[in-house]
Each structure stands twice: as structure tokens, then as C-alpha cells.
Structure 1
């Protein structure tokens, strides 16, 4: 003899709650829980991926830093060579002054070009991304109210 009430379905739930016919509140709760688990899992995956990439960027950045230092030393040697080459027909002070003036002009041109590029990049906020996020939030809100 069964201990279930006669009105209960085969799964022990009340009438109309057979398999696949769970109350909406349970479905919403389960969906919310699954969404939370999904987001947490994705965040853990992103964290692990970024940690690995961070290590690689760190090593690459160190290598670029070393290359930059050696390149800077090379440029200093090149400047000394230019001064020495100009010192053959000119006095040493004049050769050094000419090389200094040329380097000053190059520095000024680079500074002005850099300033122009920085002004084009303003403002420093990711405007397109912000607009996309606002649109996504509006879409989610619109879907939730339907």
C-alpha cells in the first residue's frame, strides 16, 4: 500500500506537478543559482588565464626593458662616435654642440608629435565600451519586464 495521498502525482508532488512541471519560483531560483555558478566559474577561468598572461607579459616586459637599456647605451655610443667624427675637421666643443643641437631638434619633434597623439586620445575613458554596457543593461531590463 502506498503512503502517498491519492491526489499526489508519481513524483510525490501535488496534482499538476509531474516531472518537468516545477513551480515557477523553483525554476527561477534554480536559474539564478546556475547563473551565479556560471559567473563564478567564468571569473575563476578569467583569473587563471590573466595570471598566466600576466607572467608572460612580465617576462616580455623585462626583456623589452633590457633591450631598451642596451639600445640607450648604443645610442650614447653613436653620439660619441658622431662627436668624434665631427671633431676631425672641427674643434671638439663645436662637434659636441652640433650633435647636441641635432638631438634637441629630434627631441622637440618627438615631443610635439607625442603631444598631438595624446590629445587625440582624450578623454581617457573607453566611451564605446561604456555605451555598449549601457545598451546591454537596458536590454536586460527590457527583457526582465516582459
Structure 2
């Protein structure tokens, strides 16, 4: 029989700070595969393995980006085709509405004058759109940062030559 202060047989013995003492019967977990490999590999081998893994990761990321870009391009192509179809449909809509307006005006005046009025209306619409387009194009500044850095390249390549 054991005393209240003495551990029973097979029970782990603890030190004052709570650490299991050797020979107490407590089992340490088996080392993982990575721990065993780390103990057996040199730093050079680890670096080579790291480099290979990084290279593989980068290749896989590039392949994923290509696959995603291809998929996005296919979807964008289909969408652009749908917009083109809608534009053709809109064009025919405007043509037939113009013809309807021309014949409606033709009931009030000769058909030639009605056609001329519809044509002038479309000319005004085209002129307004052209002026708005020109105004928007004048706002475009191009690539100012790229132009600036391209102008700095000769000075960077020739550091002995001072620019004034």
C-alpha cells in the first residue's frame, strides 16, 4: 500500500514545475516525417528542397492564371458577340422607326420631303454625337508617367553625362 504522498506504480511522476520526469512511463509522441527529414537533411538540402517547392508553386500559379484568363477571355468573347448582335438589332430598329416616321410625315407632305426631314434629323444626331466624342477625346492625356520615365532612361544609362 502506498502513502498519500507517494505515487502509485506506473503513474507518471511530476516535478515541482509540472514536467514529467524520465522513467515515469509517460510516452512522447513519435516524431513527424518533417521532423525526421529536418534532422537528416543539411541546410543546403533544405534550401534546394525549398527552391524546388517554390518553383513548383510558381509554375502551378502561372498555369492557374492562364486557365482563368482563357476562361475569362472565352466568356468575354461570347459577351462581345451578344453586344454585336444587340447593336445590329438596334440598328434595324432605328432604320424601321425612321421609315415609319418618314411614311407618317409622308401622309402630311410629299414623301421626298418627309425622307429629307428624317435624314436631317439623323444628321443633327450624328453631329451632336461627333462633337461630344471630340470633346471626350481631347480630355485624354495619354500616358504621362510612361512618357516621363522613358525620357529619364538615357540619363540613367549614361550617368557620367549630366542633364541640365
Q: 1:46 is matched with which residue?
A: 65
Q: 1:107 is matched with which residue?
A: 126
Paired residues, what number?
Answer: 110
Whose helix proportion is higher, 1 or 2?
1
Would the alpha carbon gap of residues 79 and 59 (structure 1) be closer, same or farther in structure 2, given more than 3 Å must change?
same
Structure 1 gaps, min length 5 = 1-17, 132-146
3-state SS of paired residue (1:121): coil
Is 2:109 aligned against 1:90?
Answer: yes
Would the alpha carbon gap of residues 91 and 38 (structure 1) be closer, same or farther in structure 2, given more than 3 Å must change?
same
Q: Spell out, residue by residue over 1:41-92, the C-alpha distance to the aligned partner (whole angstroms, 9 max, x if none).
A: 2111111111111221122222211111111111100110111111111211
| Shift, 1:36, TM fit | 3.0
Structure number with bigger Rg? 2
Q: 2:77 is matched with which residue?
A: 58
Q: Spell out, residue by residue over 1:88-132, the C-alpha distance to the aligned partner (whole angstroms, 9 max, x if none).
A: 112112111111111111111111212222332331x4959xx9x
Report the TM-score when normalising by structure 2: 0.55
Give, in whole Å, the separation in 1 of the partners of 2:122 and 2:131: 14
Give, in whole Å, the separation in 1 of the partners of 2:39 and 2:136: 64
Give, in whole Å, the separation in 1 of the partners of 2:105 and 2:45: 86
The CA RMSD over aligned residues, in Å, is 2.9
